[in-house]
Amino acid sequence: MSGVAGDGTLAPSDFRVAAVAFAERWKSAVSALPPWSWIPRPKHPWLSNEVDGYLALENACLLGSSEENRVGCCGGSEEPNCSGDDEPVDDATLVQSSRDDVHYYDFHIIYDSSYRVPVLYFRAYCGDGRTLLLNEFEGDLPADSSEALVKSKWTFITQEEHPYLNRPWYKLHPCGTSECIKLLFQSDASIRTTSGAAELYLLSWFSVVGRMVGLGIPYEMMKYENNT
C-alpha cells in the first residue's frame, strides 16, 4: 500500500521517496542551513517494515547567545561562520559569541517501524565536540516550543539509543505523530490520494516537529504540483 494511510502513518516503502523529495525541496528553499543527506543502511532480512537508510543534517550551528535563537549554517565543523543568503549577518553578534556559546546540532530523520512514522533524533555538542545534555542546550530551543513540548500531547523529548549509531541521542517521541498527521491531512481531503502524498508527508510532519527544535519549514517548501 502506498501513499499515506488514513491512520496518519507512512508506509516503509514510501519513506525513501518521501525523504528524497524532502531533501531536494529543502536544498532549494533553505539556503541558510546545510542540506539533508540520505545515509544508506543495510536492511536486516529478518525484520519487517524496515527501510534502508535515514536522512541526516549535521553540523548545524545555533548561536547560543543570540536573542532570536535562529539556526544558522555551518557547513564544516571548524569556524562558526554562518553565511545565510536570506538575511544580513550581524558581525557584532558573531564576535561577541565565544566559542563556548556555539552549539552544534546533528539531526537525523529515522523511520520507526513499530509506529510506522518518521522520528526526529538530534544531538547537541559544543565546539570541542563534547556532547551536551538537555539542560545545557534547552535554552537554544524556541521559548514557545519548550513550553509546548512540556505540555504537548503530540510529542516530548526522550533520550534513547540511536537505532544505528549505538549512542544515546535525544528524540521527539513518535507516539502522537500519526494523530497529528491525521489532523494535518484532513485539512485537504484530496491530498492523501494524490501521488504526491508520500512526498508531502515529511514536509507536513517536519513543519510541526522541526519547529520544536528551532527548525521550521518555510512556506516556499510546500509549493508543489497537485497531480489531481
Partner 1 sequence: MASDSPNSDRKIVVHLRATGDAPILKQAKFKISGAEKFAKVIDFLCRQLHRETLFVYVNSAFSPNPDELVNDLYENFGFDGKLVVNYACSMAWG
Q: Please state at what angle helix 197-212 crosses helix 143-151, rounded to 10 degrees.
A: 100
Which listed residue (1, 42, 87, 151) binds partner 1 by CB under 8 A? 151
- Closer to partner 1 by CB, 53 or 180: give it: 180
- Closer to partner 1 by CB, 123 or 208: give it: 208
Closest CA to 210 of 16, 33, 51, 37: 33
Instruction: State the binding string over 189-228 for partner 1 (x if CB under 8 A, else -).
Output: --x--------x--xx--xx--x----xxxx--xx-----
List CB contacts of 115: < 8 A, sequence separation 6 or more: 9, 174, 175, 177, 178
**Number of residues this chain uses to bind partner 1 (CB under 8 A):** 27
Are 61 and 71 spatial neighbours (Cβ–Cβ below 8 Å)? yes
Are 213 and 122 spatial neighbours (Cβ–Cβ below 8 Å)? yes
Instruction: State the binding string over 119-148 for partner 1 (x if CB under 8 A, else -).
Output: -------------------------x--xx
Q: Binding to partner 1 by residue 154, rule CB under 8 A?
A: yes
Question: Which long-range contacts (C-beta less than 8 Å, at least 24 apart) are formed by 42-51?
Answer: 47/113, 48/113, 49/12, 49/113, 49/114, 49/116, 50/12, 50/113, 51/12, 51/15, 51/16, 51/111, 51/113
- Closer to partner 1 by CB, 51 or 181: give it: 181
Which listed residue (6, 27, 188, 193) binds partner 1 by CB under 8 A? 188
Q: DSSP assignment of 126-149, as one string?
A: ETT-PBPPHHHHGGGS-HHHHHHH
CB of 152 to partner 1, least distance (A): 5
Active site residue 73: no
- Closer to partner 1 by CB, 88 or 129: give it: 88
Which listed residue (42, 45, 92, 153) binds partner 1 by CB under 8 A? 153
CB of 39 to partner 1, least distance (A): 26
Just list the catalytic residues: 175
Contact set with partner 1 (CB under 8 A): 144, 147-148, 151-154, 180, 183-188, 191, 200, 203-204, 207-208, 211, 216-219, 222-223
